[in-house]
Chains A and B, each alone.
Chain A
Amino acid sequence: MRPKADLSRLLRPRAVAVVGATAKSGKVGRIIFETLLRAERPVYPVHPTEATILGRQAFKQVSELPAEVDVAVIATGAERATEAAEACAAHGIPFIIPVAGGFAEVGGSGAALEDRLRKLLETTATRILGPNTLGLFVPQERLDTIFVEHGDHVLAQGGGVAFITQSGSVGVEALGLESNIGFGLRAFVGLGNKVDLDEVDFMQHFADDERTTCVALYVEALPNGHEFLEAAGKLARRKPVVVLKAGRTPTAAAAASSHTGRLAGSDRVVSGAFRQFGIQRVFDEEQLCDAARVLAVTRPPEGRRVGIVSPAGGYGVMATDYVEAADPIVPLAMAKLAPETETRLGAVAPAFASLHNPVDLTASATDAMTVDAVRAVAEDPGVDIVLCVALFAPPGITDGLIRAICGLQPELTKPLILVAQFGPFTNGHLSRFHDHGVIGFPSIARAVRAVRWLVERHQISSRHRGAP
């Protein structure tokens, strides 16, 4: 395993320079500069002709920049960005983020420019993120180089997920959508062409970062596949690691003369390898965000028995189907409630309620009844995790249920996952739950899937329990 790179100054720079900053509206150099100005730290614009930019004195060239600049964001086109990168490296700036595309991904002269960047790595101590990247977004540091819409107002409050993505767009669009229901972001890292810093460097960094509680990755090509797995496996011993690997590799094509080769299919080897190293695999951007969102916040259950509380029989039945769906890797089971639990439920539930799991409080449910029922089910020794359906349409349910459930959660010794639906107010409600550390989803399928990821995480951590 390579030595760990010290990325603290990249993710927490003393000062930042924007090469190619400009006052011209709509330009990437303006958007990045303007966004970075929101932070307290000094931000220095570099431009050959504009003397002042948004009221700040501009530097004519990189060599004039003060020594405290830890990160240079380069917002010009590939050719001038390469020259600027060379100037930044010569000036001793430790981290460079060339934003522009037009490098190796276009071949030809672009590849030659990327070779010049690679050369800098051999001759100087400078490290490069990118090129062809949206760069960084670290909410707690107010460090944001993303020049497209990215749900930044919601994500600004920060959280525990380190999100590392080869494709900036996948990360930005998916997180932007997920931020509607609340998402705790520790850091967004767009890797781009990975001329230097890659997944392994950032996994090693976030492994030791106390604020990071889950690492989520979107990857395509993994030229150092085994090193990636080693780093992810080491990280997974300490915190959840979720990976979306796109671009199923044609292993079989190269190996079709054996049964084994034909059976490898699209990417069964990847699934097996991920399991071996304790990596949780997901298959689309919604799953990636959902898994990271819940694994960063909710502690895993000690087992796989699910207790369900619902104010509507249909939701309880659907949830039961999803819980009992065959899954050879992470099988879930419906908990069998103890007679004492059913007696407790009988004392709070309305006359026609079903007191067996899934518990159906009927449309006569009230806020207090829901809280009491969740508490009773969670305290049953045969239950490992509680799934509560919170519908706000029943007349006895009020907005106060959010406060009540959020107040209950810290008292519970077992994890709680919600399904919440309330027409056009659903996302707002889920966000409020999230603000209080209660993770909910707008559908049964997504909620039970989240339960499965938590149980899978428990499997992974118990495998390493007691291991060195």
Chain B
Amino acid sequence: MSPDLAAWLESLRVPQRPDEWEVKAALALYGVRAPRGVRLSPDEALPRLTFGEPYVVKVCSPDILHKTEQRGVRLKIEAAALADAVADLRRRFPGQPLLVEEHLKLSGRECIVGALVDREFGPAVMVGAGGILTEIYRDVAFRLAPCEPDEAVRMIGELKIAPLFSGFRGITMDAAALAQVIAATSQLAVDLGDRFSQLDINPVGDAGDAWVALDAKLILKT
């Protein structure tokens, strides 16, 4: 395990249970982008932000598993409304940290990248059509980790949505850039070794020349 990753494990606010901000920080060690953001402790004043409106404000805690369903996510918040949004979430999720991020204007096309540990073969990585309907479409492909970018491109080619990466109806999503996210995710799973259990980046959003982790969840073995 690299010193950076070991230090990251040591730094977790709740030991063994990383929150979204922390998972995105781990992914950043592997070159996976996320929106710029700050994590606020329950009683911390809103700092001067280094990024502009609109904002996303979400509850940021390993205790809240279904934050969308519990209305723990507020989107497209303008600067003038930010303080109210923060206060609203603090009232409804007392004692929990919040995450304030820039709201990126993306294409809206989303994938899921994930990883797990297969009983027979060890850590494996997944890519698929993402978003909230992922489990309905079940359009996914797996490889064992670590998975090189070349192999990750072949995974993407197995998806039903593969034509979206080669000009279907004028849409051209960047397969090589998504392959980088897959390869990085697979490497993170490998590097966490025995500590790794499951990882979801859902969704990972199409930002043209890159793919951005919009939400991420990592479960460690205790």
Contacts and interface: CB of A to CB of B under 8 A. Distances in A.
Interface of A: 221-223, 225-226, 229, 249-251, 254-255, 257-265, 268-273, 275-276, 328-329
Contact of A263 (B118, B140, B143, B160): B140
Contact of B121 (A270, A328, A329): A270
A272 to B, nearest CB: 3
Main secondary structure of the interface of A (DSSP, over half): helix
Contacts of A275: 143, 154, 158
A273 B143 contact: yes
A276 B118 CA distance: 15
B95 to A, nearest CB: 23
Contacts of B217: 258
A269 B219 contact: no
B209 interface: no
A263 B158 contact: no
Contacts of B135: 259, 262-263
B151 A329 contact: no
A272 B155 contact: yes
B147 interface: yes
A328 B163 CA distance: 11
B151 A249 contact: no
A424 to B, nearest CB: 42
Contact of B112 (A225, A257, A259, A273): A259
Interface in B111-126: 112, 114-122, 124, 126
A249 B120 contact: yes
B159 A328 contact: yes
Contact of A260 (B112, B120, B162): B112
B114 A259 contact: yes
B96 interface: no
A317 to B, nearest CB: 26
Contacts of A260: 112, 114-116, 126, 198-200
Contacts of B200: 258-260
Contacts of B134: 259, 263
Interface in B121-166: 121-122, 124, 126, 128, 134-135, 138, 140-144, 147, 151, 154-155, 157-160, 162
A257 B62 CA distance: 13
B197 interface: yes
Contacts of B141: 268, 272
7 contacts: A229-B121, A229-B144, A251-B119, A257-B198, A260-B116, A271-B142, A276-B144
A104 B159 CA distance: 42
Nearest to B137: A263
Given A229-B144, A263-B114, 20 more contacts: A222-B120, A226-B121, A226-B144, A229-B121, A250-B119, A254-B119, A260-B114, A260-B199, A263-B126, A268-B140, A269-B144, A272-B141, A272-B144, A272-B155, A273-B118, A273-B144, A275-B143, A276-B144, A276-B151, A328-B160
Given A226-B122, A270-B121, A273-B144, A258 B158 contact: no
Q: Which of A255, A259, A276 has the most CB of B within 10 A?
A: A259
Given A259-B135, A259-B202, A263-B126, A272 B160 contact: no
A271 B154 CA distance: 13
A268 B150 CA distance: 20
B198 A225 contact: no
